[in-house]
Amino acid sequence: VHVINDNNVYKINNSKIQTITRSALENGDKSGVVALGQNQYAFRVVKNSTGEMMIVFLNETLIFNRFWLLFRVALVLGLGALIVFALVLILVSGKAIKPTIDAYHKQQEFITNAGHELKTPLAVISANTEMEEMLGNNSEWNESNKEQVAKLTKLINRLISLARAGETGELTLSKVSFSEIVEETTKDFKSVMKKNDLVYQVSVREGLNVLAEKHTLAEVVNILLDNAQKYCDPHGKIQVKLTKGGTLSKYAVLRVENTYREGKGKDYSHFFDRFYRDDESHNSKKGGFGIGLA
């Protein structure tokens, strides 16, 4: 074994090089790895132009060390750049969306204020109508006025509730009987279902209590039933089921189902958006303003 080139070797004498070479050649491999101290050397065996066997060693330790150093530096720089970018984004985004937030809050404030302002003339109209009845001027027009006042009052209350829910985003929860709420609400709709000649089936599991805001939960059930009877086939079927989520589940599940052939192929993804109506002209005979499900 002759050492041809040891110019780049540090602290390894020729006898050691020859020993490592013989050890590498004994295995008969064309390439491989040998360890020497704290360094790792890759080797490859080839033949030169004269047919002599030549083995070349390369210290991989320095390459790996530089790779991991480069990797760590890149990782630190990447994380640093990400943090700086996030901080800049946080500072800039607040100012960027401030006009949108202000406009949203003003809209919410306007709806609330307008709702309260509209209640006053409605109260006056209602009082005048009652006074007309007391004076003996009871007619179908007075009845119509009373019905429209009731509808407008209900609409205003829903608008105010929607605005308040958007402002606070919080409800005061307490333990309420979901079973009683569903039973009471479904009873209120019996006459409506009978009037529209609909098959009405109600199944309520007793003793189901949930954490909720009582009046809001009752309104949710009311809205679902109202939509179910509005968008139901003539002589169709409506089913209401209140069950427990499962044997070990801590949730209650309310299902309101109705038959509706015209609903096939409709896009239901926007039904819970504010003021959404499938009929954008708002001339639908079904009534409503698209604020219930929202």
Q: Give which of 56, 48, 63 is closest to 5, Cα–Cα.
A: 56
pLDDT score at 25: 81
Distance CA 224, CA 84 (A): 48
pLDDT score at 129: 82
**Does the pTM of the predicted model rise above 0.85?**
no
Do 232 and 259 meet the contact criterion of CB atoms below 8 Å apart? Answer: yes
* Vertex 160: Cα angle to 156 and 163 (nearest 5): 140
Domain locations in the chain? 96-168, 174-263
Distance CA 176, CA 218 (A): 11
Q: Give which of 283, 282, 235 is closest to 259, Cα–Cα.
A: 235
pLDDT score at 174: 93
| Tens-digit pLDDT string for the chain (294 aa) | 888 887 777 777 888 888 888 888 887 788 888 888 788 888 999 888 888 888 898 888 888 889 999 999 999 999 999 999 999 888 888 788 888 888 877 777 777 777 777 778 888 888 888 888 787 777 777 778 887 888 788 778 777 776 766 655 567 889 999 999 999 999 988 988 998 899 999 999 999 999 998 888 988 898 899 889 988 999 999 999 999 987 778 899 999 999 998 888 777 787 777 667 666 554 455 655 566 676
pLDDT score at 235: 92
pLDDT score at 290: 61
Class of domain 96-168: mainly alpha
pLDDT score at 203: 95
Distance CA 18, CA 294 (A): 84
Distance CA 123, CA 49 (A): 110
* Vertex 24: Cα angle to 19 and 26 (nearest 5): 95
Residue 106 backbone dihedrals phi, psi, to 5 degrees: -65, -40
Choosing among 3.40.50.300, 3.30.565.10, 3.40.920.10, 3.30.460.80, the CATH entry for 174-263 is: 3.30.565.10
